[in-house]
Structure 1
Amino acid sequence: MTAWPMVTLGELMVKRAGSVDPAKHPDESFDLYSIPAFDSGLPDVVVGAEIGSSKQVVRTGDVLLSRIVPHIRRAWVVGSERGRRIIASGEWMVFRSDRIHAGWLRHVLVGDLFHSQLMQTVAGVGGSLMRARPAHVATIEVPLPPLPEQRRIAAILDHADALRTKRREALARLDELTQSIFIDMFGTELANAGGHVPLGEQLSFLTSGSRGWARYYAESGEIFLRIQNVGDDELRLRDVAYVDPPSTAEAKRTKVRVGDVVLSITADLGRTAVISEAAAGGYINQHLAILRSDRFEPRFLSRVIASPAGQRQISAKSRGGTKAGLNFDDVRSLLVPCPDRTRQRHFVKRVENIEAIREEGLSALTELDTLFASLQSRAFRGEL
């Protein structure tokens, strides 16, 4: 193990990066490193007239670290000049020094050890107002190996991280394949509105969750499904709550079975998922509805609602403004195609084959994530 010297981030942090008010240059185009642009990997190209506030002036090779929750674990190296001035949101902390290799510092700033220290500097009143405090971040110490060693380790970590990125991209392609199969098999029915039937005529059971479940929250027990557990035709069980349910008719009414389709009917409308064995016997909150049918294969029904045609109908029926929602009549009146069960089962079988491959991919990605975290830890201890 190599004993590297430590340096406080304050020694690398840019205290006064300089600023520019783009509104004073309305016709000039800027490369804007914003928090939302991070996921695309490229800065936004925006004219000054469209930028509403002053921004930091940054340089190629600067390392940016987000200080805003929930985007706290984001670090970005400013890319090369593209013929425009480069500016950045004030939500970034900026680091610059000829003592660091930018790729090395970026890996340090997204590593588990630094992240746990960074979260100790966060303050605010909750939600999007929670931010890391730069003055406190400046006191955190990070290792500082010689520059050639920084470059070597950054190259190793970059290569390992690229393998994880490729795995995620492959999983995203599988999700696209499911949608393509659905369109290939049922595109004609989706386009032919004359062959659609009201969803309510095909349902044997429709209900929504109720309020007041907070008193039954528990460390373990039955799964309690909330809106974050339902995606785009996907059940998400990585972050679930548990309840010790009461023995009441109200509780029994909102208990889910294998094969139920759950639909979000308030807030973020139109999310769907099919209840699996892992979630069976759980309960739903007031933002979700249970759809039960003897005429549809659950996976087919969930995909129909999640399809662009289904989502357009839901958007058209949305009631209210900031608290948009669907009532039972809205749900029942959704028009859906109703192909024979043989074709529906054929679709489900193809989806199940894809999901088996996806599960293998997720398992491999989890292993890669574990190995990458171990590799980072060893790198920062000087063991690579």
Structure 2
Amino acid sequence: MIKLGCDSSLPKGWQWVDANSVMDVRDGTHDSPKSVDTGIPLVTSKNLVGGKIDFSSCNLISEADHLAISKRSAVDDGDILYAMIGTIGNPVIVEKQIDFSIKNVALFKFSKSSKVFNRFIYHFLNSDLAIRQFESNSRGGTQKFVSLGNIRSLQIPLPPLAEQKRIAAILDKADAIRRKRQQAIQLADDFLRAVFLEMFGDPVTNPKGWEVKPLKAITSKIGSGATPKGGSESYQSEGISLIRSLNIHDNEFRFKDLAFINDEQATRLSNVVVEENDVLLNITGASVCRCTVVPANVLPARVNQHVCIIRGKSDVYSSYLMHVLISSPYKLMLLKMSGAGATREALTKQQIENLNIPVPPVNMQQKFEEVRLKVNSILENSDEFGNESLFESLSQKVFSGQL
């Protein structure tokens, strides 16, 4: 395990420790028990979602297999589960209501006399400091995994128990606010999608009979970029933004892990300069078809080869065009077109240029834009701690002893 924190100074009373030196860290079964119709849930990495266990998709195993697994890795209230395969992470504090067994999941156990507070560890496992350690040590191709040995040697900046509880209380409150904001964002997104369908109808079947045009006829630019020479090794901590597919989500731009390039590299990508109100569409990989409008505060920017710039002409609002592309019927059509789930998932430039887009009158698009701006204004005026990047900044400060 890379000891990311060992050279970093900590406040008085704090110390760097290996996870397994202060907790009992185990994993679940390595076997594949036979599934049964009625039995005990077998929780795997994929069942850890949003801080909870999703039992609805668990396979069931026999009581005998459950008892055999429990001899090695019995799960109790207050334990923490951590996904080891696929999407690494997604920690869950166990609130045990039913019996279950685990597979491909790390188990952090805490004794009654433990000097470690489970909610402090839970928040640390969600922090960038922990995630970076696991990412640097994860293995595998498409299916990433981290070993039990690496999890046991995870470096934790550990303060005294009373300070752990104080920090956990701070992050609990901030996380609750963040989750409320996330719920508000989801409600706003659902509302805008409903307004869009009410005003314009299904953009695939076009029940309102709007004029339909190929995308190339209503845009002034359609094109993707490239990765600068040297790849990720050439990225900088500041400079010109390089937008990648991981930054693009439906009706959302995520600034986390935004890359930056220097002026020379940006000049080489002068054919993919991103402009205000450009629509960005992911065109390759597992995130294919995700789409958003570029926020002004990410500019100046370029895109890499996995992201396509779509720049509408004056009679097409970016917000309208983006909502066409992310609407459920249109998204389904795009995913089928891209071969989502196949070995190669991609949309070609020709396919994008020839997409049929219903084009309602500009004044109707403008009305939709006015609704969108009002909704966004409400969200922007909500509590600042709900902001994802601010929460991450708070997390970084508490785990370095700055709060």
Q: TM-score, normalised by structure 1?
A: 0.76
For 1:255, the aligned partner's letter is V
Question: Does structure 2 conserve the Cα–Cα contact (< 8 Å) formed by 1:161 and 1:372?
Answer: no
The two structures, once aligned, show a CA RMSD in angstroms of 4.6
What stretches of structure 1 of length at least 5 have no aligned partner? none
Question: Does structure 1 conserve the Cα–Cα contact (< 8 Å) formed by 2:80 and 2:118?
Answer: no
The match for 1:59 is 75
SS in 2 for 1:296: coil
The match for 1:274 is 293
CA 114–245 in structure 1, closer or farther in 2 if over 3 Å, else same:
closer
SS in 2 for 1:283: strand
2:273 is equivalent to residue 255 of structure 1: yes
The match for 1:42 is 53
2:191 is equivalent to residue 166 of structure 1: no
Identity of aligned residues (%): 22
CA 63–277 in structure 1, closer or farther in 2 if over 3 Å, else same:
same
1:110 to 117, 123, 130: 123
For 1:111, the aligned partner's letter is F
Q: Which has the larger radius of gyration?
A: 1
For 1:347, the aligned partner's letter is F
For residue 250 of structure 1, report the CA deviation from its aligned partner: 6.3
- The superposition leaves residues 244-293 of structure 1 with CA deviations (integer Å, 9 ceiling, x where unpaired) of 34499963321122122222222222122223432444211111222222
Distance in 2, matches of 1:189 and 1:118, equals 40
Distance in 1, matches of 2:303 and 2:195, equals 30
2:335 is equivalent to residue 310 of structure 1: no
The match for 1:323 is 344
For 2:190, the aligned partner's letter is E
The match for 1:341 is 362
For 1:220, the aligned partner's letter is E
Question: Does structure 1 conserve the Cα–Cα contact (< 8 Å) formed by 2:240 and 2:261?
Answer: yes
Question: Does structure 2 conserve the Cα–Cα contact (< 8 Å) formed by 1:171 and 1:361?
Answer: no
What stretches of structure 2 of length at least 5 have no aligned partner? 1-12
CA 257–76 in structure 1, closer or farther in 2 if over 3 Å, else same:
closer
The match for 2:95 is 79
CA 43–87 in structure 1, closer or farther in 2 if over 3 Å, else same:
farther
Distance in 1, matches of 2:336 and 2:344, equals 15
SS in 2 for 1:278: helix
- The superposition leaves residues 26-62 of structure 1 with CA deviations (integer Å, 9 ceiling, x where unpaired) of 2333233333322252342534479x99966433315
Distance in 2, matches of 1:243 and 1:156, equals 36
The match for 2:7 is none
For residue 220 of structure 1, report the CA deviation from its aligned partner: 3.2
CA 32–357 in structure 1, closer or farther in 2 if over 3 Å, else same:
farther
- The superposition leaves residues 328-371 of structure 1 with CA deviations (integer Å, 9 ceiling, x where unpaired) of 22112212211000110111111111112222236241498489
Distance in 2, matches of 1:255 and 1:115, equals 30
Distance in 2, matches of 1:271 and 1:105, equals 36
The match for 1:28 is 38
- The aligned length equals 373
Q: TM-score, normalised by structure 2?
A: 0.73
Question: Does structure 2 conserve the Cα–Cα contact (< 8 Å) formed by 1:66 and 1:73?
Answer: yes
Distance in 2, matches of 1:9 and 1:373, equals 22
The match for 1:197 is 213
Question: Does structure 2 conserve the Cα–Cα contact (< 8 Å) formed by 1:229 and 1:240?
Answer: yes
More displaced, 215-224 or 341-350? 215-224
